[in-house]
């Protein structure tokens, strides 16, 4: 009785990557994130959670009352004669929203759109159909576990930046007040 080659080689060598399992895990992670965001909004979660995102090279914290749906970047229809940071319009579940590259808005390098990029729509409570292009969604962050930087310098880019925090890995996070962003005259002037 001879052994076949497949008997001598572990199963892992012949198995293809489990893309269906990966998609399932991603959906489960997104569902858990949505549950945690809803719990935090309703006050059930007593920790001070905020949504952590990467915009360009910077880490930002978004209030769960101001951050809405998080979606993959799909088709964005460009609008002529607009600022370079205004990427255009996207359809999210039948609603047209304007998409802004917030890194570019701050005169940084444009945010590349790749597999980790997302659009974070503004919450309906802000009554502003817009969303920010983010490099990556980092999940919920508990600011109660971070150290508040008391020596936060005056922030020159706008009054929409609130506190800065340092996490346990010495990463700096800045709170972004979206309700003040939508009042910024520069943000409202998308036309050339």
Please report whether residue 6 resides in a domain: no
Domain count, the chain: 1
> Pick from 30, 103, 43: which is nearest to 72 by CA?
30
Strand 118-122 and strand 95-101: the pairing is unpaired
The CA distance from 50 to 66, in Å, is 10
Q: Domain containing 99 — which CATH number?
A: 2.40.50.180
pLDDT, position 37: 62
Please report whether residue 40 resides in a domain: yes
pTM: 0.71
Please report whether residue 43 resides in a domain: yes
Residue-range definition of the domain harbouring residue 43: 18-151+161-188
Mean pLDDT per 10-residue segment, the chain (192 residues): 50 54 70 63 62 93 93 94 96 93 93 93 93 94 89 58 89 92 92 89
Strands in the chain per DSSP E:
49-55, 58-62, 67-72, 86-92, 95-101, 118-122, 130-134, 136-142, 147-148, 161-166, 172-176
**What DSSP character marks residue 191?**
B
Helix (H) / strand (E) element for 39: namely helix 19-42
Please report whether residue 4 resides in a domain: no
CA angle 137, 37, 178 (to 5 degrees): 65
Please report whether residue 63 resides in a domain: yes
pLDDT, position 46: 42
């Amino acid at each position: 009785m001879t052994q076949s080659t497949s008997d001598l080689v572990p199963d892992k060598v012949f198995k293809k990557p489990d893309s269906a399992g990966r998609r399932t895990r991603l959906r489960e992670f997104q569902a858990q994130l949505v549950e945690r965001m809803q719990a935090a909004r309703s006050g059930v979660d007593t920790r001070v959670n905020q949504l952590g995102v990467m915009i360009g090279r910077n880490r930002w914290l978004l209030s769960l009352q101001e951050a809405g749906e998080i979606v993959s970047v799909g088709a964005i229809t460009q609008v002529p004669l607009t600022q370079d940071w205004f990427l255009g319009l996207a359809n999210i579940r039948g609603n047209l929203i304007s998409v802004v590259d917030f890194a570019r808005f701050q005169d940084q390098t444009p945010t590349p759109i790749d597999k980790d990029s997302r659009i974070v729509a503004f919450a309906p409570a802000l009554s502003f159909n817009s969303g920010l292009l983010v490099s990556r969604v980092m999940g919920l962050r508990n600011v109660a576990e971070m150290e508040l930087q008391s020596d936060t310098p005056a922030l020159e880019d706008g009054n929409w930046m609130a506190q800065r925090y340092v996490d346990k890995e010495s990463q700096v996070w800045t709170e972004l007040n979206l309700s003040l962003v939508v009042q910024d005259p520069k943000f409202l002037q998308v036309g050339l």
